[in-house]
Amino acid sequence: MPSKFKSLLDSGKFVITSEIGPPKGTNIEKMLHHIDILKDKVDGINVTDHQSSVMRFPSIGGCLAIEERGGEPILQMTCRDRNRMALQAELLFAYIRGVRNVLCLTGDAVPVGDHKEAKGVFDLDSVQLLRTIRTMESGKDLGGNELDGTVKFCAGAIVTPEANPIEPQLIKFEKKVEAGAEFFQTQAVYDLDKFARFMQFARRFPVKVLAGIVLLSSAKMAKYMTDNVPGIFVPQNLIDELANAPKGTALSKGIEIAGRMVATLKKEAMCDGVHIMAIGKEEVVPDILAAAGV
Which residue type occupies 128?
Answer: Q
Integer Cα distance of 104 and 275 in angstroms: 15
Is 157 within 8 Å of 181 (Cβ atoms)?
yes
Is 52 within 8 Å of 113 (Cβ atoms)?
yes
Residue 3 C-alpha from the chain's centroid: 17
Among 168, 206, 246, 248, binds other proteins (CB under 8 A): 168
Binding status of residue 106 toward other proteins by CB under 8 A: yes
Integer Cα distance of 208 and 167 in angstroms: 20
Integer Cα distance of 90 and 129 in angstroms: 12
Binding status of residue 171 toward other proteins by CB under 8 A: yes
Binding segment for other proteins (CB under 8 A), chosen from 17-25, 34-42, 100-108, 270-278, is 100-108
Closer to other proteins by Cβ: residue 25 or 168: 168
Closer to other proteins by Cβ: residue 180 or 259: 180
Among 112, 224, 236, 290, binds other proteins (CB under 8 A): 112
Q: How far is the CB of 106 from other proteins (least distance, A)?
A: 4
Closer to other proteins by Cβ: residue 142 or 196: 142
Q: How many residues bind other proteins (CB under 8 A)?
A: 37
Contacts of 74 (CB under 8 A, 6+ apart): 5, 17, 19, 44, 45, 46, 47, 63, 101, 102, 103, 156
Binding status of residue 70 toward other proteins by CB under 8 A: no
Coil, helix or strand at residue 202: helix
Binding status of residue 230 toward other proteins by CB under 8 A: yes
Binding status of residue 164 toward other proteins by CB under 8 A: yes
Binding status of residue 212 toward other proteins by CB under 8 A: no
Long-range CB contacts (< 8 A, 24+ apart) of 283-287? 283/34, 283/37, 284/215, 284/251, 284/255, 285/18, 285/37, 285/38, 285/41, 285/42, 286/37, 286/38, 286/41, 287/255, 287/259
DSSP character for 86? H
Binding segment for other proteins (CB under 8 A), chosen from 35-43, 101-109, 249-257, 262-270, is 101-109
Binding status of residue 46 toward other proteins by CB under 8 A: no
Omega before residue 22 within 30° of 0, cis: no
Closer to other proteins by Cβ: residue 70 or 111: 111
Binding status of residue 290 toward other proteins by CB under 8 A: no
Binding status of residue 149 toward other proteins by CB under 8 A: no
Binding status of residue 163 toward other proteins by CB under 8 A: yes
Q: Which residues bind other proteins (CB under 8 A)?
A: 80, 84, 106-109, 111-112, 120, 122-128, 131-132, 142, 158-160, 163-165, 167-169, 171-172, 174-175, 178-179, 187, 230-231
